[in-house]
Amino acid sequence: MLKKILFPTLLITISFALISWGVIGHRAIGKIAENHLSSKAKKAVQDILGSESLAMVSTYPDEIRSYQQYSYTAPWHYVNLPEGLSYDDFNAQLKSMDKPNIYKALLQCISDLKDASKTKEEHIFALKFLVHLVGDIHQPMHTGHSEDSGGNGIKVKLMRKETNLHGLWDSGLIDYTGLSYRELAADCDVVEKNEAKTWEKDDVAKWAFESYEISKQLYAEAAKNPEFDYSYYPAHADIVKKRLAQAGIRLAAILNEINK
C-alpha cells in the first residue's frame, strides 16, 4: 500500500521538477505573445481556447506528460545533438532526425492549426502544445548535447544548492527573480520594432540553433567552475530576457500568420 501511495507522488514531483522555464517563464511567454497578436489572431485564439488565455495554457504539456496516455509526447520537448556542429551540419541533422523531437512537433502543431479539417479538440491540443514548445525551444538547454541529455548530466551548484545545468536553466534562474509572470513579461517585452520584425522572419530551425549556440557558453562555464554564486543570474539575465521575449514575439507571429 505504501508503494502505491508513494509512486504517484514521486511521479508528480519528477514531472514538476522537469517543467521548462518554470510556470512563471512559460506564462510570461504566453503573455508577451498576447501583447503582439493581431485582432484576427486574438479572435481565433479565443474561438479555440474559450475563456483560457495563452499564458494559462502554456504549462499544459508539462502537466499532462506524467500520465501514461500522454507519455508519447515526452520527446517533443527537446532535441539533443552532438556538440561542435556548424549551422549547416546542425540544420542537416535536425531535419533528418527520424525520432520525435521538438522541431518535428512544432511543425506538426503549426500544420494542425492551419488544417481546417481538424476537430476543435485537435486544434485545442495543437495550440496548447505550440505555446509551450515555442517556449521550450528558446530555452538553451532544450537543444543541448546528446552526450549529457541536454545538460541533465552536468552537475552544478547555484548558491551552494545542488542542481544540474538543465534544471538551472529550466526554472532555477526564473525563480531567482521572484517576479510574477506578468511582471516578468513586462520586464522582457521592451523590444524595438525593427528587432522584433527580424526575429519574426527566422524559421524554427534558426530558433533551435540559437539555443544550441548559447548552450556552448553555458557548458563552457560549467566546465570551468560548476559552483555558481550570486553573480550568475546578473551575468545571464540579458540572455534569459531575450530568449523569453523572442519566444513570445515569435509565437505571436506564427498565430498572426495562420490567421491573416
Q: If pLDDT is split at 50, 70 and 90, which confidence band does 32 have?
A: very high
Q: What is the pLDDT of residue 190?
A: 96
Beta bridge partners of 164: 155
pLDDT value, residue 19: 55
Neighbours of 70 (CB within 10 A): 13
User: Is there a contact between 123 and 131 (Cβ–Cβ < 8 Å)?
Assistant: no
Alpha helix (H) residue ranges in the chain: 2-17, 22-35, 39-49, 54-57, 60-64, 87-96, 102-114, 120-137, 165-167, 173-177, 181-188, 193-201, 204-224, 232-258
pLDDT band at 67 (very low <50, low <70, confident <90, very high): very high
Quick one: pLDDT band at residue 146, thresholds 50, 70, 90? confident
State the pTM of this model.
0.91
Compute the mean pLDDT over every residue in the chain, rounded to the nearest whole number: 92
Per-residue DSSP letters for 157-181? EETTEEEEHHHIIIIIHHHHH---H
Q: How far apart are CA 66 and CA 69, in angstroms?
A: 9
Does residue 17 register a pLDDT over 90? no
Residue 122 is placed in which grid cell?
485537435
Condensed to tens digits (0 to 9), the pLDDT of residues 210-236 reads: 999 999 999 999 999 999 999 999 999
Rounded to whole angstroms, the Cα distance separating 150 from 18 reads 12
Q: What is residue 227's three-state secondary structure?
A: strand
CATH number of 2-258: 1.10.575.10
Q: Please list, in sequence order, all residues whose beta carbon lies within 8 angstroms of the beta carbon of residue 215, skipping any fewer than 6 positions away.
A: 140, 141, 143, 144, 145, 151
- Band of residue 175 on the pLDDT scale cut at 50, 70, 90: confident
Residue 136, pLDDT score? 97
- Predicted confidence at residue 172, as pLDDT, reads 85
Domain ranges of the chain: 2-258
Kindly state the percentage of the chain with pLDDT values over 90. 87
pLDDT of residue 169: 94
- Evaluate the CA torsion angle 90, 95, 98, 103 in order and state its sign: positive
Between CA 230 and CA 218 the distance in angstroms is: 16
DSSP labels, 172-207: IHHHHH---HHHHHHHH----HHHHHHHHHS-HHHH
Q: Please, are residues 123 and 48 in contact by the beta-carbon 8 Å criterion? A: yes
